[in-house]
Amino acid sequence: MTLTNRTSYFTAPLLKNLDVGKTFKSGSSHKLGVVYYDDRNRSSGVQELGKTYVNALSDRANENNLNGSSSVVMRISHNPPSWASRWAPVYTGKGLSISKFIYGIGGGFVPFNEDSGVFSTPNKRIYLSLNTLFEKDNSYVKAFGSDKSYSYEQGDKLRIISYGSSGLDLNIFKVVGHEILVDDYNTNPILDSSSPDTVNYTTGSFLIIEENQEATGFTYKNLENNDSKWFDNCIIEVYNDNQENKESIY
């Protein structure tokens, strides 16, 4: 049996008006199998077929950049057991990668010492503002009463879905934490108190990631030089693929 992914020809703008029903999670592997039944409806065990991977939304250049729903084609290439009268495909019900959220961020920041005027972190960590989604009065959660939340787990990763008008980036970033930062220099390494607006921008909900030097336009240096793409309508996905070694239930 072979597994083949197919991405639909969906032409609506990315992440907008996606009314396509159920689909396979993008950026994730999916485990499928087949079960055989005899003429008394007694079933075999699951015959596992392995995994098939559905490309992330930012990684579909070889699929004409199609951003629609995905499906999987199963083709039987072996003979069924002699006692089998019918068969059925089975699925674990979810991908091996869990999506925490997909949303646009409010830019990126790095620790800065206002007294010395120099950037001040040895570990090249970047703080991404999630104030568009959490914490602030005009965030999605507070403005629309959503119960969406996020808790950091070891193994969380970040991918860039899009930036600018149509930019794509395939680099992956390691997430190392999530913090609520307040107007206090003792606890907030990115606080900018030069104006009420800058205080507002540098307090609230922040995702902390490790720098990926291969990600042109998204590096620590780009933020130092004020030419970062983190501020360019950047949409991210935070996910965790630590489900790979967990027991599969079909």
Residue 1 near residue 76, CB atoms below 8 Å: yes
What digits encode the pLDDT tens for the residues 186-216? 899 999 988 999 999 999 999 999 999 999 9
Q: Are 226 and 143 in contact (CB under 8 A)?
A: no
Nearest one of 155, 166, 163 to 128, comparing CA atoms: 163
26-67: pLDDT as tens digits: 777 888 888 999 999 999 998 888 888 787 766 765 655 566
Q: In the prediction, which pLDDT does 233 show?
A: 92
Residue 225 gets the label, from left (phi > 0), alpha (psi -120 to 50) or beta, of alpha
What CA–CA distances, in Å, run from 71 to 4, 20, 103, 104?
8, 11, 24, 26
Per the prediction, the chain carries an average pLDDT of: 82
- The pLDDT of residue 27 is 76
5-14, 29-38, 130-139, 222-231: the lowest-pLDDT one: 5-14
| 4 pLDDT tier (thresholds 50, 70, 90) | very low
Q: Which of 9-13, 166-170, 197-201, 225-229 has the lowest mean pLDDT?
A: 9-13
Report pTM: 0.73
pLDDT of residue 6: 40
Predicted pLDDT of residue 150: 94
Bigger pLDDT: 114 vs 182: 182
97 against 238, higher pLDDT: 238
- Higher pLDDT residue, 75 or 243? 75
Mean pLDDT of 118-131: 79
| Confidence (pLDDT) at 178 | 97
E strand spans, 18-153: 28-37, 47-54, 70-75, 86-91, 98-104, 108-109, 112-113, 118-119, 125-129
Inter-residue contact 27 to 159 (CB < 8 Å): yes
